[in-house]
Structures are given as C-alpha cells and as structure tokens.
Amino acid sequence: MNPNQQFLQNLYGAFNSGELETIISVMHPDVKWANGVEGGFVYGRDAVRDYWTNQYKVIQVQLEPLKFEQDENNRNVVTVHQIVRDLQGNLLVDTTVQQIFTIEEGLIRLYEIGETETIQEKIQKTRDFN
C-alpha cells in the first residue's frame, strides 16, 4: 500500500468514527471540497466543518473503500461503497461512488466526486421507486 493509500484508508476510518477534527487537520487551509449532498463545492476548512456538522444532523454516512487507484493526473481515485441512513437508521442510499483526492504536501487540496448525482437526488430517486 503506497503512502497516499494508507493516508486515505486512515481518513475513511476517521470519517466512519465521526472524528471530524482529525479529518479537518489533514486538509489544506484552502481546500476545495465537493458537496456530495447538494452539489457544488465548499471552500476552506471552516466551510467543510460546517458542511459535515450540518450533514450529521440529518443523515448518517458509512464509507467502505473498495479500490485505490491513481489517474493520469496523479489524483487518488477511491471506489467506495456508500451507505446513507436517516437518523433513525433507515436505509436511504446504498451505492458505489468514486471519490477523487488531490493531495499536495501531505494535505488534501481538492476532493471531487466522480459522478454528478447528489445524495439528495439519490434519496429522492429511491423514494420515487418505492
């Protein structure tokens, strides 16, 4: 496992344990972070902290990394099994996504999602199907 893979494996462990400050500490101060719930991006550590704090008030997300790769732009692409539940534990989304990290000098500079459908859109699609 290369150093970035270990770094990201640790990051997923911290995320699943709710260790928000641990994750924030490995972000560049001017990080650009994809808003997977509503779309777009949030900018900077404080904005990411607010984004996740608000997210934790309405949903629970569990991420299981399945595959680590590097693309032609030297970005770290992680295929992730993503499970989203409401606060009562009801399953809202069960999907696989690609999460893309640009790491510079040991800090996350950019986080992108490899698809355009947001968590809100996936939840709505699931509700419409049921």
Domain CATH for 19: 3.10.450.50
Q: Is 89 in a helix, a strand, or coil?
A: coil
Q: Quote the mean pLDDT of the chain.
A: 90
Show the domain range for 20: 3-129
| DSSP conformation class of 107 | E
pLDDT surpasses 70 at 118: no
> What is the residue whose two structure tokens read 């550590």?
45
Do the Cβ atoms of 59 and 86 come closer than 8 Å?
yes
Give residue 37's region: left, alpha or beta (phi > 0; psi -120 to 50). Answer: alpha
Q: What is the pTM of this model?
A: 0.86
In this structure, what token pair is assigned to residue 54? 């608000």
Confidence band for 21, pLDDT divided at 50, 70 and 90: very high
End-to-end CA distance of the chain: 41
DSSP 115: S
> What's the pLDDT score for residue 68?
96
Q: Tokens 């590097």 correspond to what residue?
A: 70
How far apart are alpha carbons 27 and 58 in whole angstroms?
A: 24
22-71 residue pLDDT tens: 999 999 999 999 998 888 999 999 999 999 999 889 999 999 999 999 99
Token couple for 66 = 């399945």
Domain count for the chain, please give it.
1
